[in-house]
Amino acid sequence: MNHQPLLRIAGLDKSFGGLSVIGGLDMEVAQGEIVSVIGPNGAGKTTLFNLITGIYPPDGGDILLEGQSIVGLDPHEITKRGIARTFQTLRLFLNMSVKENVMAAAHSHTHAGIIRSMLRTPGQRREEKAIHTLAEEKLAFFGQRLMGYRWNQPAYSLSYANRRRLEIARAMAAEPRLLLLDEPAAGMNPVETHEITELIGRLRTEGGYTILVIEHDMHVVEGVSDRVIALDHGVKIAEGSFESVATDERVIEAYLGLRTSETK
């Protein structure tokens, strides 16, 4: 089964009103790969993520996770199947503690319901302990930044960069196979950006995740990607290694426009 891609998108279409946001998109992400999606603002990158995670239903085409279609499933079912994401505009559970943010995301692969939680059955206690360990493990991935005294602090007290890290930790706690990172380096300073680049690499080597990442910072894209997919107006305009995509004429045109001599 190794030759089957983890994620396969075939002929995906989505339009809002008359505006076609994704048009006939085909792409694949292989197991263990890190793929970057780039494109100018409005290219449809975040919409692509929203379609994969089930926030919007696609108008046409199919999304297959390990050969099984996930179109039409509720977002929480898709998460359960093994896709978790972070958000470009941070969406943490601000008034919950740092640790609780991560623990909450363990919901899809844990089971204790209302009755068992109220009765504190042995199974529930064991599971709760495992959730604590899981959260601590995921937070430890970021060194000392989200450890110790921070566990019990509300998420709103974190700095911007730490919030981005916490979002990643939270997505990790859902135990996905495919991790979707929506602009993980947005708003970060150069040092933090460098750190994020390393972190994404470690997510693959140590965490074993397959990663699809949207990113505007080309240093990050260059540093992490096995493959780059460039979108413009919802259409794939280039695909391949960073070098080939970065020098692709259509990509340059999408970002910078045509030279005046060519516009005639």
Using rule CB under 8 A, residue 74 touches another protein: yes
> Which residue stretch of 10-18, 122-130, 200-208, 215-223 sits at the interface with another protein (rule: CB under 8 A)?
122-130
**Closest among 20, 170, 146 to 93, alpha carbons compared:** 170
Quick one: tokens of 179?
């991790």
- Among 26, 57, 94, 249, indicate the residue that binds another protein (CB under 8 A): 94
Name the residue nearer to another protein (CB basis): 173 or 228: 173
Figure out which of the listed residues 20, 59, 87, 222 binds another protein, where binding follows CB under 8 A. Answer: 87
| 46 is an interface residue for another protein by CB under 8 A | no
Give φ, ψ of 24 to 5 degrees: 55, 45
State the Cα–Cα distance between residues 171 and 161, nearest whole angstrom. Answer: 16
Minimum distance of another protein from residue 88's CB (angstroms): 12
Interaction of residue 51 with another protein, rule CB under 8 A: no
Site string for another protein, 201-240 (x = CB under 8 A): ----------------------------------------
Tokens representing residue 253 in the block: 């045109």
Structural contact between residues 23 and 200, judged by C-beta atoms closer than 8 angstroms: no
Compute, in degrees rounded to 10, the torsion defined by CA atoms 101, 103, 105, 107: -140
In the complex, the smallest distance separating the C-beta of residue 118 from another protein, rounded to whole angstroms, is 4
**Structure letter (DSSP) for residue 155:** G
Beta bridge partners of 39: none
Q: How far apart are CA 40 and CA 171, in angstroms?
A: 25
- Which pair of structure tokens corresponds to residue 42? 């409005």
Give residues 174-203 in contact with another protein (rule: CB under 8 A): 174
Stretch that binds another protein, among 56-64, 170-178, 205-213, 225-233 (CB under 8 A): 170-178
The residue within the footprint of another protein, chosen from 28, 59, 100, 248 (CB under 8 A), is: 100
